[in-house]
Every structure is written in structure tokens, then in C-alpha cells.
């Protein structure tokens, strides 16, 4: 997904503050790029990405954000260096620090766009507003969080879903494959799907060919689902 210079910009009227989106990434950031291209256009109106947070310092997505026009604020927090520099802290403490960075950015919604960590209950409780972090203000309302997953609901939960799905199809174990954007819950990739879409897959093709089709569908549904969730919490004009 490349930057789309022809994207029509819809400027927010002075009385309506734009909807604020935070995006979690770990790598290439092509789904992030789809959101960058769509922000504040008719596909994702009155919306600004206000933070891109990565768990990898050198994620290409961070460069996509910092070189966007206007530049998008970025942050990174990697698990292993965090644990090394805080020997008494745990994985859940790391999640809490990620949640803290999000809460401070005051997003209306959070999108996991290739975020390669499983989130803990402690993290989700902070975004729900049922757990207030020390030193932080209580949330006025829940911050919804969604995730893109390259499989149909319940098919191939967890990592390497594209490869596992493609191989299962080639072996004749499944008849269809697809992608979804779902709400994030404690059970990995088991939250309610907002959008689920089938992706054509052919017997005997290379996985790269299938993957290319799949990513194109991802870039569409990540924008559509983000719009859906923002419309729930901050309809345009509110
Ligand atoms: C996507 O295929 C997404 O479904 C999966 O990780 C990949 C991220 O790709 N969870 P990118 O970083 O957005 O290019």
C-alpha cells in the first residue's frame, strides 16, 4: 500500500474536533498506510491518526507515520528491553505501559494493525475504564479496540494464519479463506467480527499470489471497520 497523493481531503469544520485514532503496529505497516491514506477523506471522515505505537523500534510503519504529511506522532516500546531495564516487572506491566501511552494520547478508538503481541486482561481493563492507572485520570468512557486478523472467524486463530490457512486449503482441509476485523477480547482472535470477508484462493497457486489478494482486501476492511467503530463512539458532528 503506497501513499495516495490524490486522496481528497475533507477538512473538519471549526466546531467539530476530529475523531482521534491510535494505531498499534509491529512491522511493515501497509494496513497503517491504508488508514493514513483514508484519514480525513470520505472513507474515514473527520479522523486524525494521533499516535502510531510500535513494539519494534525499526518497524517500517514508524517511518510511514513520521514521513506522512502532516507527520504523525510515533512511539515505540519493545518488550524485552522493557523487561531488562525493569527486572522486577512482568509482561503484564509492559502491557500496562503500552496502555498508559495510549490513554495519554486520548484516542477515541485504537486499531491493532499487525500488532504482534497478545493483549492481557489488565491492558483491556485499562481501555475499558474499569482499571485506572496510577497517576492517570479516569477515562470518561471506554476506548474501543479492534484488530485485523488474516483468517475467517474461528478458522486459524493466532500467529501465521495466512500460511496455515493457505496450506490447509491446498491440502483440501478447508474450502474457503478470508480476513476479518474484530473487537479485541481476552481470547486471541475471538472477539466479535465487525467485518469478515472471503478472499479468493486457487488450487496450485503460489502463496504469494494469494497473499497479495488478501492484503488488498485487508486495506479495504481495516478502513471500513475503523469507520464503523468510530461512528459508534463519536459519530461525525458530535
Ligand atoms: C497483516 O496481514 C495482518 O492481518 C496481520 O499482520 C499483517 C500486518 O501487515 N495481523 P502490515 O504490517 O499492515 O503490512
Query: pLDDT by residue (tens digit) across 59-107?
Result: 999 999 999 999 999 999 999 999 999 999 999 999 999 999 999 999 9
Average pLDDT of span 119-135:
95
Would you place residue 4 in the very low, low, confident or very high pLDDT band (cuts 50, 70, 90)? low
Would you place residue 5 in the very low, low, confident or very high pLDDT band (cuts 50, 70, 90)? low
Task: Give the residues surrounding ligand 1 with Cβ less than 6 Å away.
Answer: 25, 27-32, 61, 113-114, 148-150, 218
CA dihedral 120, 126, 129, 132 (to 10 degrees): 140
Taking the complete model, does pTM exceed 0.75, yes or no? yes
User: Please, which contacts does 52-56 make with residues 24 or more away whose CB atoms are closer than 8 Å?
Assistant: 52/22, 52/23, 52/25, 53/22, 53/23, 53/24, 53/25, 53/77, 53/98, 53/101, 53/102, 54/24, 54/25, 54/26, 55/24, 55/26, 55/79, 55/98, 55/115, 55/116, 55/117, 56/26, 56/27
CA dihedral 96, 155, 61, 47 (to 10 degrees): -80
Between the CA of 14 and the centroid of ligand 1 the distance, in Å, is 35
Ligand 1: nearest atom to the Cα of 61? 12
User: Residues 155-189: pLDDT tens digits?
Assistant: 999 999 999 999 999 999 999 999 999 999 999 98
The whole-angstrom separation of Cα 37 and Cα 194 is 21
Residue 15 is predicted with a pLDDT of: 55
**Is residue 228 within 8 Å of residue 194, measured between CB atoms?**
yes
The whole-angstrom separation of Cα 63 and Cα 27 is 10
| Whether residue 160 lies in the annotated active site | no
Instruction: Name the active-site residue from 76, 149, 160, 215.
Output: 149
Residue with cell 490457512: 165
User: Residues 129-138: pLDDT tens digits?
Assistant: 999 999 999 9
Q: Hey, whose CA ends up nearest to atom 14 of ligand 1?
A: 30
Amino acid at each position: 500500500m503506497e501513499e495516495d497523493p490524490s486522496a481528497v481531503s475533507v477538512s473538519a469544520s471549526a466546531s467539530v474536533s476530529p475523531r482521534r485514532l491510535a494505531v498499534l503496529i509491529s512491522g511493515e505497516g501497509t494496513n497503517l498506510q491504508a488508514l493514513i491514506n483514508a484519514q480525513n477523506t470520505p472513507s474515514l471522515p473527520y479522523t486524525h491518526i494521533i499516535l502510531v505505537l510500535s513494539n519494534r523500534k525499526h518497524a517500517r510503519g514508524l517511518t510511514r507515520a513520521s514521513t506522512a504529511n502532516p507527520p504523525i506522532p510515533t512511539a515505540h516500546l519493545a518488550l524485552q528491553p522493557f523487561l531488562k531495564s525493569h527486572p522486577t516487572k512482568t509482561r503484564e506491566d509492559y502491557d500496562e505501559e503500552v496502555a498508559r501511552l495510549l490513554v495519554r494520547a486520548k484516542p477515541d478508538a485504537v486499531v491493532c494493525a499487525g500488532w504482534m503481541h497478545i493483549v492481557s486482561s489488565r491492558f483491556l481493563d485499562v481501555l475499558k475504564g474499569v482499571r485506572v492507572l496510577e497517576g492517570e485520570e479516569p477515562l470518561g468512557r471506554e476506548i474501543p479496540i479492534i484488530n485485523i486478523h488474516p483468517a475467517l472467524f474461528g478458522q486459524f486463530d493466532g500467529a501465521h494464519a495466512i500460511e496455515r490457512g493457505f496450506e490447509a486449503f491446498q491440502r483440501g482441509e478447508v474450502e474457503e479463506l478470508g480476513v476479518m476485523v474484530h473487537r479485541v477480547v481476552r481470547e486471541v482472535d475471538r472477539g466479535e467480527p465487525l467485518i469478515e470477508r472471503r478472499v479468493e484462493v486457487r488450487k496450485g497457486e503460489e502463496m504469494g499470489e494469494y497473499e497479495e489478494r488478501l492484503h488488498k482486501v485487508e486495506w479495504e476492511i481495516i478502513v471500513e471497520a475503523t469507520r464503523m467503530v468510530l461512528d459508534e463512539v463519536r459519530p461525525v458532528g458530535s
